[in-house]
Amino acid sequence: MVTIDKYNFQGKKACVRVDFNVPLDKSFKITDETRLKACVPTISKILKDGGSAILMSHLGRPKDGPEEKSSLKHVVQWLKDTYKTTVHFADDCIGNSAVTLASALKPGEILLLENLRFYKEEEKGDEAFAKKLASLGDVWVNDAFGTAHRAHASTAVMGKFFADKVCGFVMQAELDNAEKVLGNAVRPYTAIMGGSKISDKIMIIEKLLDKVDNLIIGGGMTYTFVLAEGGKIGKSISEPDKVELAKAIIQKAKAKGVNLYFPVDNMCADSFSNDANKKIAAKGEIPDGWEGLDIGPESVQIFKKVVEKSKTILWNGPMGVFEMPNFAIGTNAIADSVVLATNGGAYSLIGGGDSASAINNAGYGDKVSYVSTGGGALLEYMEGKILPGVAALS
């Protein structure tokens, strides 16, 4: 695999698959710049070398062609402000505007293409569509780790049409940091798994049972484990059909000598609302009509002690409904502990998605070892799956 630091872009037009899938508010202002900022080193390297960058990405999930809320034109001003260069915008990623602007692109300039997913061919991995995109440039740079698990036209298929294929800085950093928790991690090694469903995390949990010393389970998936142990969960989210799976995980952890930690208490609400009535319930004792929306104060203290003694930490998934301030206490407390452990010399990887949002919202993005932008791609990589976007670079 050719890494970007080993490639000279002098006089080249680089087709760069970036991940600009950023959240926009109702007036189409960017509300989280994390993914845009992540790509700055890759794009800057291309421009500094004397090359030009043709940026391509998706945004949102458009269903039937172009729509205002999914247009990448809302990113143009950010690019102008950041790179202080000429930024062109093609309103059709494979149309006449893209072809004309790409052919006239000068070294040091940027061309941003409109949302790739305005064409259904992108997600279908259509070769003819990929070939049209590829015809715009001389070299393919893949820096979109967040979509590397998809065999889409721009994330994988495009690689067929280039002799020169380059791994961007984001992609390289994601792979390098994933290896730090997959390889010979420094012990004690603690994984913190949150989120609502066991079914989303089962493969990574099973993989981690062969690697970690401690596994902390939080979030909505907790309540399926409580069901497996015969406890009461009120109206908390759960997967009753995964109870046997939960029992099997408990047994596997015991067999492998992994310390498995569940919340011993929960912060409960009488409705799914930040303003709901709240009370603390012990594990397995949530009354009817109430639901667990966060871990409780006793659980926070137990989890904090485990995290703060760790030397390697992987965190994927919040401890509760952290979008509601009244139920973000557990997630924020874990964030504090991860930062404290990192300051003490631990290696900490925050595994994309909600965990990345939580750590960034707390202002800790630069106080942990690495915040992945990967989400599903990171999980699949850690599960041992081959990612099409990575394989296409080899």
Q: Are 242 and 214 in contact (CB under 8 A)?
A: no
Q: Of 35, 45, 132, 242, which residue is the catalytic one?
A: 35
159 classed as catalytic: no
* pTM of the entire predicted model: 0.86
Give the pLDDT of residue 374: 81
> Which range among 3-17, 44-58, 190-204, 230-244 shows the weakest confidence by mean pLDDT?
190-204
Q: Tell me the per-residue pLDDT of 124-179, one tens digit each, with 9 for 90 and over.
A: 999 999 999 999 999 999 999 989 999 999 999 999 999 999 999 999 999 999 99
> Which amino acid appears at position 197 of this protein?
K
Distances (CA, A) of 93 to 13, 139, 154, 201, 310: 16, 17, 11, 35, 47
Helix 40-49 / helix 169-182 crossing angle, nearest 10 deg: 140
Q: Of 73, 180, 197, 252, which residue is the catalytic one?
A: 197
Q: How many CB atoms lie within 10 A of CB 256?
A: 13
Q: What is the C-alpha separation between 50 and 4, in angstroms, rounded?
A: 14
207 classed as catalytic: no
For 237-304, what is the HEC assignment?
CCCHHHHHHHHHHHHHHHHHCCEEECCCEEEEECCCCCCCCEEEEECCEECCCCEEEEECHHHHHHHH
Q: Tell me the per-residue pLDDT of 64-98, one tens digit each, with 9 for 90 and over.
A: 889 999 999 999 999 999 999 999 999 999 999 99
Q: What is the C-alpha separation between 72 and 17, in angstroms, rounded?
A: 13
Give the pLDDT of residue 156: 97
DSSP class of 185:
P
DSSP class of 118:
G
Instruction: Supply the mean pLDDT for the chain.
Output: 95
Q: Tell me the per-residue pLDDT of 28-47, one tens digit each, with 9 for 90 and over.
A: 999 888 889 999 999 999 99
Nearest to 356 by CA among 370, 377, 341, 343: 370
Give the pLDDT of residue 352: 67
Give the pLDDT of residue 258: 98
Q: What is the C-alpha separation between 352 and 378, in angstroms, rounded?
A: 8
> Please, which pLDDT band fits residue 331 given cuts at 50, 70 and 90?
very high
Nearest to 191 by CA among 349, 5, 28, 394: 349
Distances (CA, A) of 213 to 179, 252, 344, 369: 17, 13, 19, 20
What percent of the chain lies above the pLDDT cut of 70?
99
Q: Tell me the per-residue pLDDT of 290-305, one tens digit each, with 9 for 90 and over.
A: 999 999 999 999 999 9
35 classed as catalytic: yes
> Please, which pLDDT band fits residue 117 given cuts at 50, 70 and 90?
very high
Give the pLDDT of residue 354: 79
pLDDT at position 365 over 90: no
Tokens 């409109």 identify what position?
Answer: 114
Residue 78 CB-density burial (10 A; 0-12 exposed, 13-18 middle, 19+ buried): middle
353 classed as catalytic: yes
Measure the CA dihedral 192/188/375/140, to 10°: 180
Q: Of 125, 353, 374, 389, which residue is the catalytic one?
A: 353
Q: Tell me the per-residue pLDDT of 167-205, one tens digit each, with 9 for 90 and over.
A: 999 999 999 999 999 888 999 999 999 988 888 888 889
Radius of gyration of the chain (CA): 23
